[in-house]
Amino acid sequence: MENQYHIKEFNSIVKNRRSVYPKQFVKDKTIPDEMIYEILENANRAPTHKLTQPWRFTVFAGKGRELLADLQTDIYTKYAHENFNEKKLKNLREYPLLSSHVIVVGMKRSVTTAIPEIEEIIATACAIENLFLSLTAYGLAGYLSTGGITYMQEAKSHFDLGPEDKLIGTFYMGYPEDLSNPLTKRTTIYEKVKWIN
Ligand SMILES: Cc1cc2nc3c(=O)[nH]c(=O)nc-3n(C[C@H](O)[C@H](O)[C@H](O)COP(=O)(O)O)c2cc1C
């Protein structure tokens, strides 16, 4: 029976997935919101133990990006303390507006199941990879940032997350300007696999 999926195409999407940073996005080129929704639908198909579906997405588009720039610079200035870094602050201000859309990813803990936290983080990470691969398939690009406010407890409530939940990261996305620089390298899979026959 012929395989119903396009394996070559899929492999090429996976192998060409790459992090592209806001300074490499085409300026002022906006991704249609419907496309973002299609990508989020793919994220929503991630595997999830007991179907807890812990991933949460706060999407910042249009003027919402300015709100995010204000919000994350305020939070960072207030709570970075000894880690405060002017360059990081500048990026937190500039990156949202260099992007078409920004998605802050959260993990919402299940209250009805006794699922270990790590499983909910894994499920959310799977959703992020679905999102990342979908971006690549659509000819879009982006990167996941865990800098800035990600690990600041005080930031959570701004994204509808409670004390038991986690901020996982901020995904900046746009149209890639230039993908001519090489992909990052990986060491061979053979040194990461133990195969027992
Ligand atoms: C959990 C996670 C957190 C990351 N956080 C950051 C970050 O804060 N800043 C950054 O520049 N890149 C970040 N990255 C992107 C990695 O640096 C990037 O994936 C790596 O360099 C490999 O490049 P590639 O994604 O193009 O294959 C993060 C990636 C992951 C998976």
Q: Which of 135, 145, 166 best tests ligand 1's pocket when mutated (most atoms within 8 Å of CB)?
A: 145
Distance 131 CA to ligand 1 centre (A): 14
Residue 150 CB less than 6 A away from ligand 1 = no
- pLDDT tens profile 72-126: 999 999 999 999 999 999 999 999 999 999 999 999 998 888 899 999 999 999 9
Query: Residue 169 in contact with residue 78, Cβ under 8 Å?
Result: no
- What percentage of residues in the chain have a pLDDT greater than 70? 99
pLDDT, position 1: 53
Ligand 1 close to Cβ of residue 143 (< 6 A): yes
What pTM does this model have? 0.96
pLDDT average, residue stretch 10-37: 97
Give the pLDDT of residue 111: 86
Question: Which pLDDT score, from 0 to 100, does residue 86 have?
Answer: 97
Query: Which amino acid residue places its CA nearest to atom 31 of ligand 1?
Result: 144
Which ligand 1 atom lies nearest to the CA of residue 21? 11
% of the chain beyond a pLDDT of 90: 93
Residue 129 has pLDDT above 70, yes or no: yes
pLDDT of residue 2: 64
Question: What integer best gives the mean pLDDT of the chain?
Answer: 96
Given a contact cutoff of 8 angstroms between Cβ atoms, the answer to whether 76 and 148 are in contact is yes
Does any ligand 1 atom lie closer than 6 A to the CB of residue 145?
yes
CA dihedral 13, 18, 24, 27 (to 10 degrees): 40
Q: Which tokens is 117 given?
A: 């936290």
